[in-house]
Amino acid sequence: SFPPSSSQPLDWPGALVSPFALYSLIFFFGALFNVLAFWVFSCKMKKWTETRVYVMNLVFADFSVICTLPSMVYLLWKKSARGELCQFTEIMYFINMLVSIYIISFISIDRYIAIKHPLKARTFRSPSKAALLCGLLWVLVIIGATIQLWQKHEALCFQTYAPTPAALSLLAIFFVFTLPLAILTFCSTEVIRNLKKHLNMNSPEEKSIQKAVHIVYANLIVFLICFLPAYLGLFARFIMENVGATCFQLCVMENFSSMMRCIATSNCCLDSVCYYFVTREFHEAFLQPKASTQKTDATHPLQIQPC
């Protein structure tokens, strides 16, 4: 989701204890939830829908982030030099976090089209178009992240003390946080506003509409909780680098960024709750496997799902 920031220097006792504990919890629950989601969406469903395409990509990205956590913690704990393991871990972490963020943005756009423009939905929405969009995303992110991270010349792993040109910093902040946040906020508010119109019309589907509104609210709130602190941390660091911060101030900012990275990484667990387990497809495939392939064919715009 964002360029890995350093936990160095960590000079006071126990500076890594809290991140280590958080990463351990994230690794355990993230692996458990994502393996369960992958099993249901890959083995219990037969028909490829937009939902399944987006969710499978999101599961793969989140699980890949989870897999980097043991080596990340080891490298931070040992204050390792920037070797091949460090470079591979940084690249894997950055690529999959960024893909995860943009898949969430695609899901919000897809919801917006389905609910705001239902007549155009058949033109813009299809499993093949979702797969093409996800494929292009993977290619662009892999190329961009690999070029950026392999050009780093830091001495220690996950260290970001070298000054970055202001233009590059602003571009990174825009594409990594500002653009996805703007997309998710706009699409979520529009979806909620349109759903609430049906509530005011005394729709017979009032309960399902209320549930849909709550799900969209929850998705937006979780995204803000996970990524907004990291976004503010990156922006604060950009300001400090350009006004001439002291060594102590930069040290404090680095440790703040380290904790914010933990919070952002927790999104890999929360995606399971927000996007997998609440979907109609997941419930039907997991609880009623024999009926799932028939029921998942229909897509009603008021039945909120990841796409």
Residues 6 or more apart in contact with residue 145 via CB below 8 angstroms = 91, 94, 95, 98
pLDDT number for residue 299:
42
> 4-44: per-residue pLDDT in tens?
444 444 444 445 557 788 899 999 999 999 998 888 888 87
Provide the pLDDT for residue 81: 66
Which ranges of the chain have pLDDT less than 50? 1-14, 289-303, 305-307
pLDDT at 41: 82
134 is a domain residue: yes
Which tokens hold the place of 10? 């960590």
Strand, coil or helix: 45: coil
Give dist(CA 84, CA 291) in Å, integer: 48
Q: Residue 81 pairs with which residues in a beta bridge?
A: 156
Type and span of the H or E element at 8: none
Find the angle CA(16)-CA(97)-CA(281) to the nearest 5 degrees: 120
> Is 127 domain-assigned?
yes
Residue 189 one-letter amino acid: T
Where b means 16+ CB within 10 Å and e means fewer, 248-287 reads: eebbebbbbbbbbbbbbbbbbbbbbebbbebbbbbebbbe
User: Would you say residue 94 lies in a domain?
Assistant: yes
Question: Counting beta carbons within 10 angstroms of the beta carbon of residue 178, is it exposed (0 to 12), middle (13 to 18) or buried (19 or more)?
Answer: middle
| Residue 71 placed within a domain | yes
Number of domains, the chain: 1
| Amino acid identity for residue 77 in this structure | W
Report field, pTM of the whole predicted structure over 0.75: yes
Structural domain including 125 reads 17-295
Q: What is the dihedral of CA 114, 196, 267, 125, to 10 degrees?
A: 0
156, 8 contact by CB (below 8 A): yes
Residue 178, in any domain of the structure: yes
Q: Residue 6 falls within a domain, yes or no?
A: no
Q: Which residues contact 174 (CB under 8 A, 6 or more apart)?
A: none
Q: Which two tokens stand for residue 24?
A: 């351990």
Asked if residue 301 belongs to a domain, the reply is: no
The Cα–Cα gap between 125 and 114 comes to 8
Q: Which residues contact 204 (CB under 8 A, 6 or more apart)?
A: none
Residue 13: the pLDDT is 43
CATH number of the CATH domain containing 122? 1.20.1070.10
Residue 303 lies in a domain: no
